[in-house]
Structure 1
């Protein structure tokens, strides 16, 4: 019997081995029985799942290079349905469900690179990262959560501290078309509160005071224009006003706002219901 898996350099494999019970794989081998204990599947095989079409390829990829030769030699002498069953068993035991193309490589990479930071951030929110390996939570939920972890999280800090990722971002910026739209200088709408808005106003006020003090002492040739107030998050209404102009926006609001919010006249003998429609005033 061969004992393998879970001891490599892949954090994804280490967490899988910690979360999931070992798989005791047995296959008939002539008059004997071949057996292997798998603590985890090969993370490179998980990454390749999108490109694997046959059950034999799935088994070879998931058991890893160390065991692939042994397992495939045994399966070669068995009916084809044993290969199908083995591939299904590996995926089922280690919760390797079907995901949209590209998601498995993304998940394995993020956990291998930033798994400890992700685990800590989720623990702060009462979520155990190992639950995704156990099948207690769907992998698609983790994929949705990662990009939405807030500023100041360990995961976001790890991304910002990754030199390879920083280099890739810089190279991507250099390759961008000059006509590409510039990034917004406004803060994100998520997390905006009244406290943040008041703090932004206070900072804007202090900047204008600082500018005024500088201009009062600087030569006339070096005086500058007062800084603009710091911008808040951009809302859908802001974008609509920029696109259509204030007058057109008010017309749109009139069309979608119930009549009791508008100051229009109501003909004698009628009234507006809560939907803004004219009805007889009984």
Structure 2
């Protein structure tokens, strides 16, 4: 609260809550629940991402083996954002086609991030597991190479 209290107070006030009253009522779990679900354009997130000490702490963490794919929170996914994302993707395709007409060989543009739900994550794990089973069955020497860490 010392570091981000002002931003949290502003975000709670925007949502009709009085931080001081909640604090006096010792409703700490309620406050944390709201703060944990603030959108990325909240005052709290702005204060957090502008904090160099926080940034250093995040960068000091070891990288995960596999970075998480870029995603948009479903709570932030509005019909307007969906349409803008679709336009962004189509524009990337158009740029690629124009470059190809000039003789270029551009790579396919990466689509803009979309929300990833639990269903999406489970499907991705199932596809990966199925791929691993096929590799083990069809190319056993590749499966053992992939399983052993690189030297």
8 Å contact from structure 1 (residues 200, 230) kept in 2: yes
Instruction: State the match for 1:79 in structure 2.
Output: none
- 1:212·1:226 contact (CA, 8 Å) conserved in 2? no
Secondary structure at the aligned position of 1:190 is classed as: helix
User: Contact between 1:187 and 1:233, CA under 8 Å: does it hold in 2?
Assistant: yes
Q: Deviations over 1:75-118 (max 9, x none)?
A: xxxxxxxxxxxxxxxxxxxxxxxxxxxxxxxxxxxx10011111
Superposition TM-score, scaled by structure 1 size: 0.41
Aligned partner of 2:11 in structure 1 is: 121
TM-score, normalization: structure 2?
0.73
Residue 85 of structure 2 corresponds to residue 200 of structure 1: yes
CA distance in 1, matches of 2:124, 2:59: 30
More helix by share: 2
Distance of 2:100 and 2:119 partners within structure 1: 36
Are the counterparts in 2 of residues 186 and 231 from structure 1 also a CA contact under 8 Å?
Answer: yes
Q: What residue number does 1:241 align with?
A: 123
Partner of 2:143: none
Consecutive unaligned residues in structure 2, runs of 5 or more? 128-151
d(CA) in 1 for partners of 2:19, 2:40 = 19
Secondary structure in 2 matching 1:233:
coil
More strand, by proportion: 1
Alignment match, 2:112 = 230
The answer to whether 1:138 aligns with 2:27 is yes
CA separation of 1:131 and 1:241: change in aligned 2, threshold 3 A = same
4+ residue runs of structure 1 moved beyond 6 angstroms?
none
Q: State the Cα distance separating 1:243 from its structure 2 match.
A: 3.7
How far, CA to CA, are the matches of 1:162 and 1:116 in structure 2? Answer: 14
> Which residue in 1 is equivalent to 2:71?
186
Aligned length: 127
- Counterpart among 50, 56, 72 of residue 161 in structure 1: 50
State the 1:168 CA deviation: 1.1
CA distance in 2, matches of 1:231, 1:166: 23
TM alignment of 1:1-282, pairs within 5 A: 111-135=1-25, 138-172=27-61, 175-176=62-63, 180-217=65-102, 220=104, 223-244=105-126
CA distance in 2, matches of 1:133, 1:189: 29
Aligned to 1:249: none
How large is the RMSD of aligned CA atoms in angstroms? 2.0
State the distance in 1 between where 2:33 and 2:107 align.
44
Q: Helix, strand or coil: the match of 2:99?
A: helix
Kindly name which structure, 1 or 2, has the bigger radius of gyration based on alpha carbons. 1
Unaligned runs of 5+ in 1: 1-110, 246-282
Deviation at 1:194? 2.6
